[in-house]
Amino acid sequence: MVQFHWRLPTHGDRADVALPHDTRGDWRELQPGNVSPAVQAPSPYHEHLLEIARSAEIAGFDGALIPSFPHTDDPWVVAASIARHTKSLRFMLAFQPPWINPVYAAKAAATLQRLSNGRLLFNIITGGGGPGQLWWGDRIAHDDRYTRTTEFLDVFQGVWNGGPFSYDGKFYKVKDAGLPHPLAGQVRPELYFAGSSDAALKAQGKHADFNLTHMEPLEKLRAKFDRVRELASQDGRNVLPAIRLNVLARPTEEEAWAEVRRGWANADWDAIEAQRAGQRRGDAIGSPIPEHLRPTKDKDPRDLQIDGFFSGLGILGAQGSPLGIVGSYETAAERIDTLIGLGVGGLILAGTPHLEEAQRVGEEVLPLVRGRQPLRLAAE
């Protein structure tokens, strides 16, 4: 059964896609339009994140990704708080393994499982390298990072059900370790593993349940999914592809594209170019959008489509891949079914603003997705 997750915008949000900058949260200078929601005591932006989590839960999502960036609140803390105020929503904690010792991470994860009745998942990120990685104080060669991630997960899994577990790796050495009662033996958190290089795909075969990738043109996805399956099967395991993408769905095609055009007209194109220049640093592979599909001010948004997916969502404040869905509710559901047809087993959807769009996508789009099983049968 395909998992449907939403995303919690720990990086801030905006009231709608027509606005050229964020208006929710306190990452920008406060002014009357962004005093609310929830940046005044006693209701910090965190309260708004919780409200998004609840809307995702009530509208029918299985879980929600809690992203991690240098300027966001920490996902472990956000997850712990949200867990106590939701009922069934699973929370996917984005995490770079080296920041916490693996035995201690297992202990913290076990506590999260105990307090949430087993609703934790991980989005394991190995990191992009370059200045971005050094911000975190991490200087390590690209391929070594995946060795380290693998070792981290070896130890994490090794101690999860109790010990004694000993390990002698390049990065981690553990002797007679193991989670004690009653922490040991909790439901093991499923792992969404991010990474596209051969080193990444080899590393995930041993531990990952899902390979998580940002949306790309379908041809590239097919090739990547084949490699995911091939490399995972070397470890005798089955790793399912998973996709993150942004969705802008409206009752009609015209309404959806009208939103895009308004965002296009209001966008701060100079800031967008400056940000692009900054993103070209680092040694992660990726940037999968062909040059002719890169949005610029003078291009007609409707020309920026490949395989029925729109490549300009970054202009509208979307975080992650700029390639996503624009269209009617029916179109959005068809595109999601296309991805499910490629073998995708997990989807992390997002839309701006995240509260309102969680309601909309959950209520209007997901019921039209044919590859989805209902939570329960409709009332007889």
Partner 1 sequence: MSFEVFWQLPPNGDGRSADKATWTRGDHQAARRPQNPFARHGGDETYTYFDHLVQIVRAADLAGYDGVFIPQTDEGEEPLVTAGALARDARRIRFAPELPAHFLSAVYTAKIATSFQRLSGGRLILNLVTQDPAVNTWHGYDWSEDEQVARHDEFLTVFKGFWNDGPYTFEGQYYEVLNGGFAGPLKGQPQPEIWLSGTSEAALELNAKHADVHVVEASSPEAVAERIQVLDALAGRKLKYALRAEPTARYTEGEAKAAAVHARSPQAGDEALVGDYEQVARRLTQYLDAGVSTLVLGARPHLEEAYRTAQHVLPRLPGWGVAQLAQIAAE
Distance (Å, rounded) from C-alpha 334 to C-alpha 371?
10
Q: What is the 3-state secondary structure (H, E, C) of 75-99?
A: HHHHHHHHHCCCCCCEEEEEECHHH
54 or 206: CB nearest partner 1: 54
**Inter-axis angle of helices 142-160 and 198-207, nearest 10:** 0
Among 137, 182, 236, 374, binds partner 1 (CB under 8 A): 374
Q: Are 93 and 79 in contact (CB under 8 A)?
A: yes
Q: Provide the H-helix boundaries in the chain.
A: 45-58, 75-83, 102-116, 130-135, 142-160, 198-207, 218-233, 253-266, 269-279, 329-341, 354-360
Q: Does residue number 2 form part of the binding site for partner 1 (CB under 8 A)? A: no
> Is residue 23 near partner 1 by the rule CB under 8 A?
yes
Query: Is 278 one of the binding residues for partner 1 (CB under 8 A)?
Result: no
* CA dist., res. 191 & res. 93, Å (int): 10
d(CA 240, CA 228): 8
Name residue 168's beta-bridge partners.
173
**Is residue 32 a contact residue for partner 1 (CB under 8 A)?**
yes
Binding-site member from 21, 47, 294, 330 for partner 1 (CB under 8 A): 47
Please report whether residue 48 would count as binding partner 1 according to CB under 8 A: yes
- In the bound complex, what is the minimum distance in angstroms from residue 366's beta carbon to partner 1? 5
Q: Which stretch binds partner 1 (CB under 8 A): 224-232, 284-292, 337-345, 353-361?
A: 353-361
Sign of CA dihedral 78, 83, 86, 92: positive
Minimum CB–partner distance for residue 337 and partner 1 (Å): 15
Instruction: Evaluate whether 332 touches 247 at the Cβ level (below 8 Å).
Output: yes
| Closest alpha carbon to 197 in 157, 131, 144, 237 | 144
Residue with smaller CB distance to partner 1, 219 or 255: 255
248 in contact with partner 1 (CB under 8 A)? no
Angstrom distances, CA of residue 230 to CA of 147, 206, 211, 212, 359: 19, 12, 12, 16, 37
Cβ 356 to partner 1 shortest distance, Å: 4
Looking at the Cβ atoms of 14 and 107, the one nearer to partner 1 is 14
Q: Does 271 bind partner 1 (CB under 8 A)?
A: no
| Distances, alpha carbon 70 to alpha carbons 75, 214, 257, 301, in Å | 11, 19, 33, 31
| Shortest reach from residue 147's CB to partner 1, in Å | 42
User: Residue 353 Cβ, how far from partner 1 at the closest point, in Å?
Assistant: 7
Min dist. Cβ of residue 310 to partner 1 (A): 21
Specify the stretch interacting with partner 1 by CB under 8 A; choose among 23-31, 99-107, 269-277, 278-286.
23-31
Cα 138 to Cα 78: distance, rounded to the nearest angstrom: 24
Determine, following the binding rule CB under 8 A, whether residue 254 of this chain makes contact with partner 1: no
Of the residues 8, 39, 245, 326, which one makes contact with partner 1 according to CB under 8 A: 39
Taking residues 82 to 121 in sequence order and writing x for each that binds partner 1 by CB under 8 A, - otherwise, the string is -----xx---------------------------------
| Contact residues: partner 1, CB under 8 A | 15-16, 18, 23, 30-43, 47-48, 50-51, 54-55, 57-60, 87-88, 262, 353, 355-356, 359, 362-363, 366-367, 372, 374-379
